[in-house]
Amino acid sequence: MYEYIKGTVTFVGPAYVVIEASSIGYLLYMANPFRFSNKLNKEVTIYVHQAVREDAITLYGFKDYNEKQLYLKLISVSGIGPKSGLAILANDDHSGLIQAIESEDVSYLTKFPGVGKKTAAQIILDLKGKLDELEGVSTSVEGSVQQELSLSTNHGPVNEAIEALAALGYSAREIKKIEPDIRKLNKETTDAYLREALRLLMKK
The model's pLDDT over 37-66, given as tens digits with 9 standing for 90+, comes to 999 999 999 999 999 888 889 999 999 999
pLDDT at 159 over 50: yes
Residue 198 has a pLDDT of: 93
pLDDT at 136 over 80: no
Give the ranges where 27-186 is alpha helix by DSSP (H). Answer: 65-75, 82-89, 94-102, 106-109, 117-127, 157-168, 172-183
HSE on the CB side for 92, CA within 13 Å?
Answer: 14
Whole-number Å distance between alpha carbons of 106 and 100:
8
Residue 122 has a pLDDT of: 97
Contact 157, 193 (CB under 8 A): yes
**Stretch 171-196: mean pLDDT:** 90
Residue 155 has a pLDDT of: 52
**Stretch 134-153: mean pLDDT:** 39
pTM: 0.76
The CB density around residue 104, as the number of other CB atoms within 10 Å, is 14
In the 8-state DSSP scheme, what is residue 149? P
* Percent of residues, the chain, with pLDDT higher than 70: 89
Give the Cα-Cα-Cα angle 97, 101, 102 (nearest 5 degrees). 115
Residue 12 has a pLDDT of: 96
pLDDT at 14 over 90: yes
pLDDT at 88 over 90: yes
Whole-number Å distance between alpha carbons of 166 and 163:
5
pLDDT at 137 over 80: no
Residue 54 has a pLDDT of: 87
pLDDT at 149 over 60: no
- Alpha-carbon dihedral angle through residues 28, 30, 33, 38, given to the nearest 10 degrees: -70
Whole-number Å distance between alpha carbons of 68 and 56:
20
Average pLDDT, the chain: 87
Residue 43 has a pLDDT of: 97
Residue 133 has a pLDDT of: 72
The amino acid sitting at 176 is K
